[in-house]
Structures are given as C-alpha cells and as structure tokens.
Structure 1
C-alpha cells in the first residue's frame, strides 16, 4: 500500500473510533432500556402480592411509569404518595404507574395494608431486581423509575427518589 492509502485507512479508523466513543457515551448517559429488556418486562409472569397473575397485555399501548421499590427503602416509601398523586392526575391520559416490589409478598401485602396506592403493585423478587438492571439500573439500587412510551420504548429513567416535577416532565415528554 502506498502512503495515501495508509492515511485514508488511518483517517477512516479514527472517525470510526470517534463515532464509537460518542455513541457509547450517549448510551451510557441515557441508561435507557433495550428492546429485549422491555420485551422481557412485558413477558414476565408478574403476580400481585396476593399471588394473582397480572395480564400485562393491558399495560401495552400505554405510557408506563415503572417504579422498582421495596418496603425497607426509605426513599422508595417517601416517593409513593407522589407516584399515587400523579397516577390520579394522568389516569385519563393513557398513563399507568406500575410498582415492582423487590421484596417478599408478605412484606408487600403488609406494607400496602398501611399504605394503599391506586396503581398496580406486583412482586418482583430477585427476577425483578435482575430486570431493573437490564432496564438500565446498572447499580441495582432503589428506587428506580423508568418511563416506557406507548410504543414500548424507554424514554427516560431515574435512579433514586424522583421529584414530582421531574416525573411530570418525563411523563409529558413520553405522551
């Protein structure tokens, strides 16, 4: 190869490297769930705290606010009244909140007796924790909230307690 060809190859390689770095940084910063993770979410055999199966086909076509939480997690418990308030506010706009309890069924039942919410709560357990990681929660910490638009695409996520305004803005951008 002559010098000109080497320079061309080096230039193309440099551009490819730069494109890869920029793309990986964007994916890292967005932390958005992949299509397979969203499919796994809908395919999971979710159950209520009473052991009843949940039909996730009723969740499809809606904007979902999926909140991974546990009764032993103070920030999780603190944000639940806000989640409940916003579920009522957005109910008629095809928005559904879903709580994934990373806890035992008995703990979740006991918690919900004292702190009822108007949105469905399902048992996540270990599989729910793994799923939250697949959906962008690289640290596996709680609470973790992810917004899925009506087309089944993740539009935003938040690790840690989410504010009312932040959540309202994320929901409106997904509508």
Structure 2
C-alpha cells in the first residue's frame, strides 16, 4: 500500500469513529421527571384536530405511550401503523397511545383524513417541541416516544423510529 491509500484508510477510520461517537450522543434521551409530566403534559390544554378540548383527566391512571410526530417526518409516518396496531392490542390492558402532532392544524387534519389512527391525536404545534424537550427529548428531534406508567412516572423514552418488539417490551415493563 502506498502513502495515499494509508491516508484514505485513516480518514475513513476517523470518520467511522466520529460517527459512532456522535450517534451515541444524538440518540441519548432522559426520562422525564414526575413534576414535568404533571405540569407540562397533563396540565396542557390539548386540542384535538376537530377543535375540541381534550380532557386529560381521562388519561390519568393509564399507562400512556406518547408519540411526538409530524406529517412531514418520514420515520414518524412509517411508525404510525405499528403504533395503531399496538394501541388495539393493548387497549384492554389500560394502555392509551397519544399522538402529539408537531405540525399545523391543517396539515394534521389533512394527514389524518388519509391515514386515520385508532388513538387520540392532539395538536402540539410549535410548542409541542418544547414539551418534548421537557419530557426528556434534549435534541428536540422527531419521532420521540415516551411511556408514562399509570402512576405518572416516565419509564421509557426513545428518540427515533420505534421497533414493534422494542415498544411492546417497554409497554409490558410499564404495566
């Protein structure tokens, strides 16, 4: 091997190492504190896509799978059928999925008219990004999923697209 090939190999190795380190940093999320969940999530005046106020009192005492998403986010859209399937699977076990749309009301309405889901969707708008940060999403990226157990404690968070088995296992751990 000549010197040029060694330099290319060294640069590739450094790029690989940098990518591994960066991916570890980017994917880290924390668990939300109970006060943040009560103040930022349950006390938030949520609105459904049809303009009605959502009563979060009905959500308390249930295990919640809260998914922050947007219609313009391909991984968010890709994971919605899985979330919908799991909502139906866990419905009788006191588990509720809630989608928080980080998008405009009109975009969310249009998206849901073409891709309906069996779980409640609420409008997060731009403020929804701040809420996801308060609930452990330090990057503010999407999709972001958090599980809150029936006692109001965060038990799981995931930045990025969920896997069906991964989220199923996390739900069972929260019950």
TM-score range, shorter chain: 0.7 to 0.9
What's the offset of the Cα at 1:145?
A: 0.1
Is the alpha carbon distance of 1:97 and 1:112 closer, same or farther for their aligned partners in structure 2, counting shifts above 3 Å?
Answer: same
Gaps of 5+ in 1: 1-28
In structure 2, the partner of 1:36 is 35
Gaps of 5+ in 2: 1-27
Could you list the per-position Cα deviations for residues 95-148 of structure 1 after superposition, in whole angstroms to 9, with x for gaps in the alignment? 000000000010000000000000000000122110100000000000000000
Contact 1:30 1:156 in 2 (8 A): no
Q: Which moved more, 1:161-170 or 1:122-131?
A: 122-131
1:6-155 paired onto structure 2 within 5 Å: 31-39=30-38, 40-155=40-155
RMSD: 1.2
Give the structure with higher Rg (CA).
1
Aligned residues: 148
What's the offset of the Cα at 1:30?
A: 6.2
In structure 1, the partner of 2:159 is 159
How far apart, in 2, do the equivalents of 1:53 and 1:100 lie?
14
Contact 2:29 2:159 in 1 (8 A): no
Contact 1:69 1:100 in 2 (8 A): yes
Output the TM-score relative to the length of structure 1.
Answer: 0.83
Contact 1:33 1:134 in 2 (8 A): yes
How far apart, in 1, do the equivalents of 2:83 and 2:93 lie?
15
How far apart, in 1, do the equivalents of 2:34 and 2:114 lie?
36
How far apart, in 1, do the equivalents of 2:74 and 2:157 lie?
19
